[in-house]
Amino acid sequence: MIEFPTVLDDLMMAQQPILKKTKEIFGYELLFRGKDSLSANISDGEAATSQVLVNLCIGITKLESQLRKPFFINMTTELMLSDAFFPIDPDTVYIEILESQKLTPEFFTALKNWRAAGYRFALDDYQFDTNYQALLPWVSIVKIDVLLTPPAQFATQIAELKSRGLILLAEKVEDAAMFELCKQLGFDLFQGYFLQRPELIKGKRIDSATHGAIELVNALQNKDISIEALTDLVAKNPKLSYQLLRILNSPVCGVSKTVTSIKEAIIFLGLVQLKKWALLITITSSTKQPQSLLKVLLTRGRCCQLLAESKKSPLADSAFMVGMMSGIDAVFNLEKSVVLEQIALDKSLLAAILKQSGELGSYLKQTLSCEEQDWNKIQSMTPGERTTLNRAFLDAMLWADDVVRSIN
């Protein structure tokens, strides 16, 4: 795991991708909560400024160099009104302003100073309140909660915002239908769980490419599979063979020598590691889903694995499998039960995926609480568990980005 400074233990951090119309990742929103209250409300302004500034700068500087995406950050009023600035490139940050922000002369002076320093702003949770139109000239992006503010009812106002040259971001996009509606209304960016949730298609036939991929996944579950049999299976898929060799030759895999054949790679790595990578690449090779979904599932799988490793559990590789396969329904755009019925997973893995039960289920449950920003579940953890989860999730996020770059 990456060694983040201990000061990061004071905050719980989660991230959620922000996507373009193409479902490519535009950036990430980073969400922070204090370790005691797990609440964004901090009463001591001076303490808030120092705590948030130190934590954000240390953490984001680490992330920015590897992810190279814009970050969206909620800022306290105290930090906005202070004289401090982030020691990072303003081009990598959007500072979010809540629509409930008190619009004082001092606040507009602070906006002017931050803008002069090169920082950009997003107006969060905008509900078309005329009192906050004074903020529009200062922001680049307007975020609209489409659950709280149904976009179909505000089509005229949305068009007016577009006419001002503002970038519109739809928050809380929960399904494909809302995603399509928001695209039609002119939204540019999207945030929510629609990407991880497949359309419910009952009785849909599995196409031949998907069926072939599932056959290979099933074969990889056989603990007694031979090197020769696995080599033959992989070699039958030229794209899979090419991608597997690429990733094995990349720094992500940690291989200290160059491999020149699938068989050599299998012998060198061993079946356990190769099964994991072959599963990953099989999934990516047989789906038309965007890379952003792959990053979500990679982060999930790696986080589960790191949580298991932190407990010195012998189930770390199974934990990775549970994390990855927990989103298999979104990968193949089928109901989870339909897909899992056709994959020869151990009962303990199935129980972990479907019911979040057992040791493996506990790792998935913790990972999902961070992914979904479920602060109530996070608050029920011990301080030590929160610190471990925070570090595992951050490390998994960076690792997932490295893996996708290696595959491509």
pLDDT tens digits, 286-336: 556 667 787 888 889 999 999 999 999 999 888 988 898 888 777 777 677
pLDDT tier, 41 (very low <50, low <70, confident <90, very high otherwise): very low
pLDDT tier, 157 (very low <50, low <70, confident <90, very high otherwise): very high
Of 12-21, 172-181, 362-371, the range with the lowest mean pLDDT is 12-21
Across the range 188-209, mean pLDDT stands at 65
Kindly tell me if the per-residue pLDDT of 130 is higher than 60.
yes
Kindly tell me if the per-residue pLDDT of 148 is higher than 50.
yes
pTM for this prediction:
0.65
Q: What is the C-alpha to C-alpha distance for residues 313 and 340, in angstroms, rounded to an integer?
A: 25
Kindly tell me if the per-residue pLDDT of 80 is higher than 70.
yes
**DSSP letter for each residue of 137-203:** GG-SEEEEETTTS-GGGGHHHHHHHHHTT-EEEEE---SHHHHHHHHHHT--EE-SSGGGS----TT
Q: How many CB atoms lie within 10 A of CB 407?
A: 20
Kindly tell me if the per-residue pLDDT of 5 is higher than 50.
no
> CA nearest 26: which of 279, 290, 334, 376?
290
pLDDT tier, 151 (very low <50, low <70, confident <90, very high otherwise): very high
Kindly tell me if the per-residue pLDDT of 36 is higher than 50.
no
Token pair of 353 as six digits: 């995926």
pLDDT tens digits, 243-283: 666 666 666 666 656 655 667 666 766 666 666 666 666 66
Across the range 164-171, mean pLDDT stands at 96
Phi/psi at 123 (5° precision): -90, 115
